[in-house]
Amino acid sequence: MKRVKDQTYYDLLEVPRGASAEEIRKAYRREKEIFSSNSMAIYSLLGPEELKEVNAAMDEAYRVLTDERFRSEYDRKLEDLGEKVFSGEPVEVTANQEVHPVREELAGIPFPNGFRFRGSSLRGIRESMGFDLKQISQKTKINRQNLEWLEQESFENLPALVYIRGFIMEYAKALNLDAHRVVDSYLESYHQWRKARNE
């Protein structure tokens, strides 16, 4: 087995470069189960510190590969350096792309400071927690169709901004996220859509 720092994020999660977000989520859950502290499969292979290092690296790989912007930047580095970019090397985010950090206790998956909460990332978080839209609809009292439009960022089908804000607030609470920060991040996409529409 290669050392953690000698593996790319794709190596760590054992997925190909072209893996879909869903394939990455499934791989992450599988690898986390294999490398859990009570896993008999690796009990005699790794010490506590090595296990901690592997899990931290897998968390970072998951964060990067499930965020379109981070993944694109990482893939560019792989191409530029001939795939000599390993898990110990951070993916940089420019200042104008940064948003507020969120709480990091969700399902043990920490979010980076530059994480952008878009419809697709909210869907990914929901799916990684094992929730379907029917469950979120029941919990938030929001019509399932509106939830689908939120995840698709189908703003033309959604009601006024005040309602979108309320929907996202309740959606974020249902996933145990920092609701105000998710709203601020998500609405960046809405405002960009409005601006493009009015140009």
- Give the mean pLDDT of the chain: 77
Tell which wins on pLDDT, 44 or 149: 149
Query: What are the pLDDT digits (tens) for 141-180?
Result: 999 999 999 999 999 999 999 999 999 999 988 888 888 8
Least confident of 10-14, 108-112, 192-196: 108-112
Position 190 confidence tier, pLDDT thresholds 50, 70, 90: very high
The domains found in the chain, sorted by start residue, are: 4-95 (1.10.287.110), 116-198 (1.10.260.40)
CA distance 31 to 96: 33
Residue 92 has pLDDT above 90, yes or no: no
The pLDDT-based confidence of 37 (bands split at 50, 70, 90) is low
What is the pTM assigned to this prediction? 0.48
More confident residue, 91 or 155: 155
Residue 38 confidence (pLDDT): 57
**Residue partners of 186: CB distance under 8 A and separation at least 6:** 117, 118, 119, 122, 168
Residue 96 pLDDT > 50? no
14-36 per-position pLDDT tens digit:
888 888 888 888 888 888 777 76
Residues in the chain: 199
The single-letter code of the amino acid at 70 is F
Per the model's pLDDT, the better-predicted residue between 42 and 22 turns out to be 22
Please give the Cα distance from 145 to 108 (Å, whole number). Answer: 29
